[in-house]
Amino acid sequence: MAIADLTSLPVLGIERVELRHKLRVSALTQLLTAASVRGIVRGSTALLESVQRLERLLPSALGKQVAVPQVRSIAVERPDVIVGRSLRGIEWDAPGGELVRLVVLVLTPAGMGVDSHLDRVQQYAHLVRQQRTRQRLIEGDDDTARAILTAAAEGR
């Protein structure tokens, strides 16, 4: 009885978010709201401003319809990622005007070092650079996406 109940519980932090809007700021707002609901961040107003500022200074569209925004902040409670997909595509100021369909927001607490933060950014940038993984995250069902993100979170 207990096993069946426990396995049906959602695993926090690895659920893919369906991005409904076409603008970058709306997508980031939705991702940070999801992070706030999951207890990954404390409040999201200042963090949204920070992520947008870092986007201006370091645009996060990496090509192939993927963006990996990142922030290291005191408002982040624990290291985690929030992944969102957009079936319509988001205007992300990407090279060539390409729309972004997969967003991986990397959140790192201020207490973690720069190297650890960059390791995490690199891990997820490499993950979504693999064509098969990227396609499965964009087009796969929720279970497929969850399996990929769980494996990534566990370093498999």
Binding site for another protein (CB under 8 A): 42-43, 45-47, 49-50, 53-54, 56-60, 62-63, 68, 71-75, 95, 110-111, 114, 117-118, 121-122, 125
Angle between helices 131-139 and 142-153 in degrees, nearest 10? 130
Of residues 15 and 98, the one with the C-beta less far from another protein: 98
Nearest approach, Cβ of 85 to another protein (angstroms)?
A: 19
Rank residues 14 and 121 by Cβ distance to another protein and give the closer one.
121
How far is residue 55's CA from residue 139's CA, in Å, rounded to a whole number?
Answer: 26
Complex with another protein: residue 68 or 149, whichever CB lies closer: 68
- Any residues with CB less than 8 A from the CB of 83 and at least 6 apart, and which? 14, 16, 17, 102, 103, 104, 105, 137, 145, 149
Q: How far is the CB of 66 from another protein (least distance, A)?
A: 9
CB of 21 to another protein, least distance (A): 23
CB of 116 to another protein, least distance (A): 11
Secondary structure in 3-state letters for 55-67: HHHCCCEEECCEE
Pick 27 or 128: Cβ nearer another protein: 128
- In the complex, the smallest distance separating the C-beta of residue 147 from another protein, rounded to whole angstroms, is 24
Scan for tokens 């009885």, then name that residue. 1
Choice between 15 and 118, CB closer to another protein: 118
Q: Which of 144, 119, 122 is nearest to 133 (CA)?
A: 144
List of residues 6+ apart from 148 with CB closer than 8 A: 127, 133, 136, 137, 140
